[in-house]
Chain A
C-alpha cells in the first residue's frame, strides 16, 4: 500500500497552514480522483490534507442567490429541492456524475478543481454565472468561473490555495436552465459532449407564469408555436459546451445571436448551428469530431427548449404528469 501521512484539519486556516508547512502535500476532499491517481501511481504525495472535517464546509445557503460550500457533494446537490427548481442545470449534471457511491463523497469543488474538459458540473456553473471562492496564504478572493479555468486540467489556483465554495447570483421565475450529458452508456461514463443552457424570457416586459395552455403534456415545440403571437423574448442567455475544447467554454456568438430576440424553434435551430461552429471538438475514443459537432447542434437546441419549458411549465420538473386542475400557478 502507498505510504502517506493523513491530516484532518477542522478549519480552512489550519488546512492552509498545513499546506504551507508540509513538503509534497496535496488536498483531498471526496478522494474519488486523488485516491485513484495515487493507486495508479500517477502521483505520490507524502501528505494528504483532508477537507472532509472542516467545520461548516458542507452547507448550501440560500440568500443573495446561492452559496455552495467547498465540501458539498454531488448527492447534496441532487437532494436540494431549491437547486432543482431554480438552478436546474446543476441538478441535471450532479445527478449524472459517476455512480451513487461516487456522488455520495465526490465534491463539486473537486470536480471543478480537476478542470477536466468533461467535468459535468462545469458547464452548468458557467451558465449560472458562478463565482469561485478561494482561500490561501494571502487571504481570500473570488473569481468568475470562466476566468478560473486556464486550460485542460489547469485552474487559477496559486500555491497553497484551496476552493472554499461557489456563489451563484439569484435568478427569477422567468429563468430556466438545463444540462444534457451525451454518453455511450448511462452510468460511470464521461460525456462525449455536455451542453448547458440558461435562458431568461419575457412577454411584453412582464414576467410570465403558468397558463392553462401550458399545463398539458404537449411538446414544448407545439406550445412555442401556439405562443408565436405573444412574442416571447429572450432577455438573457448563456450556453456552455463541454468536451469540445481543452476546457469547458461558452458559445458566445450563439449567446449574442439569441439575446434580445423573439424566440421560436426556428431561431433555436440557427443558434444551435452557431454554437456548433464555435465548438472545436477532436477525434477521441468516445466519439469523432464530426459527430460531436453534430451533437452540439442537436443538444444545444434541445437544452434551450428544455430551459424554456422549465420557465413555462416549472412544476413539470418536480411533478411528472402535471395536471392543470391542481396547478396553483394557473391564472384565471
Chain B
C-alpha cells in the first residue's frame, strides 16, 4: 500500500508517495528523477549510491525509503550553489583529473563531503578510510585522494 512521506531533500521539503518496499535510491532515481546518484552493485559494496543523511554517509541502495521520513537527505545535486557554481569538492575533482568514466564520482564526492563536514583537516589515512567503501573501477584513486586533499587542506595543492 502506498504511503505519503515528507523529508528534506537538498534543503527543500519534499512530499512523495512511496511503496514501503522501495529503497531511497529507487525513489531518488525513478520517482524524483535525480540521476546523479548511481546504482552500482545494489548490495552496499561499491558506494556509487552514497548520499548523506543527517550528516552521515549512507548507501542509499540499502536504505528503506520510510526511514527517510523526517530526515535531511543530501545528494550530489544538492552540492552546487544556487548561482550554478560547483562545490569546491566538485571543482577539485575536475581540476585534479579525478573523474574518469564518472560512475563512482557522485558517491566519492558525497563520502568526501561527509568527511570534510565532520573533520575539516583529515589526514590522508582519514580520507582513505572514508572512501574505502567507494569503488573506482577506472582505479583513479590517487587523483581522487589528491582532489579531496586540496579541499581538505584548506585549498592548497
Q: Within the complex, what minimum Cβ distance (angstroms) separates A136 from chain B?
A: 24
What separation, in Å, do the CA atoms of A26 and B64 have in the docked complex? 14
User: Which residue of A3, A8, A188 is within 8 Å of B66 (Cβ)?
Assistant: A8
User: In chain B between 20 and 72, which residues have their CB closer than 8 angstroms to a CB of chain A?
Assistant: 20-23, 26, 42-45, 47, 50, 56-59, 62-64, 66-67, 69
Q: Is A101's beta carbon under 8 Å from chain B?
A: yes
Q: Are A52 and B67 in contact (CB under 8 A)?
A: yes
* With known contacts A99-B132, A100-B133, A50–B43 Cβ distance under 8 A: no
A residues near B74, Cβ cutoff 8 Å = none
What separation, in Å, do the CA atoms of A2 and B58 have in the docked complex? 21
What separation, in Å, do the CA atoms of A98 and B114 have in the docked complex? 17
User: Which residue of B47, B50, B56, B134 is within 8 Å of A75 (Cβ)?
Assistant: B56
What separation, in Å, do the CA atoms of A36 and B58 have in the docked complex? 14
What separation, in Å, do the CA atoms of A118 and B104 have in the docked complex? 29
Q: Is B129's beta carbon under 8 Å from chain A?
A: yes
Q: Are B64 and A6 in contact (CB under 8 A)?
A: yes
Q: Are A100 and B132 in contact (CB under 8 A)?
A: yes
Q: Is B90's beta carbon under 8 Å from chain A?
A: no
Give the residue name and chain of the B residue nearest to A28 (CB): B64
- Binary contact readout B100-131 vs A (1 if CB under 8 angstroms, 0 otherwise): 00000000000100110000000000000110
A residues near B43, Cβ cutoff 8 Å = 36, 39-40
Q: Is B77's beta carbon under 8 Å from chain A?
A: no
Q: Within the complex, what minimum Cβ distance (angstroms) separates B128 from chain A?
A: 8
Q: Is B1's beta carbon under 8 Å from chain A?
A: yes
B residues near A101, Cβ cutoff 8 Å = 44, 47, 50, 57-59, 111, 133
* With known contacts A31-B62, A104-B57, A104-B58, A6–B133 Cβ distance under 8 A: no
Could you give 25 example pairs across A and B, Cβ below 8 Å?
Answer: A1-B22, A6-B20, A6-B21, A8-B66, A8-B69, A31-B67, A35-B44, A35-B63, A36-B43, A39-B42, A39-B43, A50-B67, A52-B67, A98-B44, A99-B47, A99-B132, A100-B114, A100-B129, A101-B57, A101-B58, A102-B59, A105-B56, A105-B62, A187-B133, A188-B132
Residues of chain B touching chain A, judged by Cβ–Cβ distance below 8 Å, are: 1, 19-23, 26, 42-45, 47, 50, 56-59, 62-64, 66-67, 69, 111, 114-115, 129-130, 132-134
The 6 A-B residue pairs with the shortest CB-CB distance, nearest first, are: A99-B133, A187-B132, A6-B20, A35-B62, A104-B56, A6-B66
Residues of chain A touching chain B, judged by Cβ–Cβ distance below 8 Å, are: 1-6, 8, 28, 31-32, 35-36, 39-40, 48, 50, 52, 75, 98-102, 104-105, 186-188
Sample of 12 more A-B contacts, CB < 8 Å, known A31-B62, A35-B63, A102-B133:
A3-B19, A3-B21, A5-B20, A28-B64, A32-B44, A48-B20, A50-B66, A99-B133, A100-B132, A101-B44, A102-B44, A105-B62
